[in-house]
Structure 1
Amino acid sequence: MLSSALPHRAGVGFKPEHFSAMLVEPQPVGFLEIHAENYMGAGGPPHAQLRKLREDYALSVHGVGLSIGSMQPLDGDHLARLKALCDRYQPESFSEHLAWSTHDGVFLNDLLPLPYTEETLARVADHVDEVQATLGRQMLLENPATYLLFEESTIEETAFLAEIVRRTGCGLLLDVNNVFVAATNHNLDPDAYISRFPLEAVREIHLSGHSETVDDLGAPLLIDSHDTPVKDPVWALYEKVLGQIGPVASLIEWDNDVPAWPVLRKEAAAAQRMLDTAARMRAA
């Protein structure tokens, strides 16, 4: 089984509006990430652009539609299209979300939370096994941004993820912004969450912006909106993570209100400086 092998550098999520700017000269980013579902057609401009970029960049394929957390079987057609995409481009990494998004053939266009129970654990592990066996490669599972907790949950999220890793051999994608968002929404300590996270399984990190509002009771509510620069508390949490595990492939996610290429490149450069610092500290 192929393991995730992204370079330990800062990357960005590729957006078609940046294609021309990226061709002008080599760009100082370590890898590109695409959403798998945007490239499941047979051809056209998306594949023409991706073929060109693949010549120069490592590639991370990030799924948003497998519904790993669903209690129903995985969609075989969707999984087959995903395999065809990975066979075609041989990405250095594939990842998906610890969430569900389909029910009875209906796609809900959202990444929905799930209760952490023994039943859910067994189902998610089965789905991860199926994905890895089909793709012939290790997949990474991403921790979610959440806005509610389930009374029926009997397993802490970090322990749930650690057990999935133990049972399946998958890796983890640590979304630092998701940690901060969920901890704030649930009045928890993000540093304590990180201290319990199975960091030894982390193969990629996500960084993004979030929106700030309040709930009906006036309490702070953060939304994982991917439409702003990375916020200072998220940078600080990221720095602590790197201090513990050293440099690891780190992606800037900016999916809404997408800025001009120089703005996105500047965010990646900030992450790269922190990665370089972490590398120097590990070498000292």
Structure 2
Amino acid sequence: MTSITMDKSMPQAAHDRTNSIIELRRYRLRPEARETLIDLFDREFVEPQEAQGMSVMGQFRDLDDPNSFVWLRGFRDMPSRAAALNSFYTGPVWAAHRDQANGTMINSDNVLLLRPASPDVGFAPLRTMRPAFGAADVRHGLVVATICYLAPRTDDEFAGFFEAVVKPHLQQASATVLAALVTEQSPNTFPRLPVREGETVFVWFCAFPSLAAYETHLAELAQSETWTTEVVSEMEQRTWRQNEVLRLTPTARSLLP
């Protein structure tokens, strides 16, 4: 199997730009298959996807689910998403490795199609040089994704609430807010890969230098009377089910955090 690595001469355009469309992809894996998929993904699937204009933004292990692989993929817009996905999934790299990849999975349809809640709250362009495959996995950071489930057509209002009320408290408690995203309501332009349609969500992403730093952050929030009695209460009134929190640790080749 041919290994693909990235050196400093390779173009960075795929992740030097702002992505207006982002997929949050969560795969249900067979027991003990996660490391097999991460090895395959980081070796074979990163550069070929970016060569088609996609941005492989982050690949993660879910700390709370050993059978879950989570990753973020970005696109310039919906038409370019369709073209890029078609090129990759009909191309030679996927044809060569799809059976091995699919063999690790029970389900790959848990996908949220998202966009920045406003032009200035998406992920910043990722200019970090990606480590080559085989580099030592010395990453210690943590990305936490919080998924809020909203009633239809309330995403703009919730985005305003997050920016004015929630975000300042997160930052005061030492969180680095990476992005705030909402559901992209356009029809799926590549039906071969299903996404969760008919839902309205707001997702924010925070970065922490370590799991211990995140736990300190939670403790600081818990000590804030305003957070516990006002902010959380208002958030619960604006959502129809409990928020979903993903604690994610990056693989060696992830560009995030």
Q: TM-score, normalised by structure 2?
A: 0.28
Give the TM-score normalised by structure 1.
0.26
Q: Which has the higher strand share?
A: 2
Larger relative contact order (Cα-Cα within 8 Å, sequence gap ≥ 6): 2
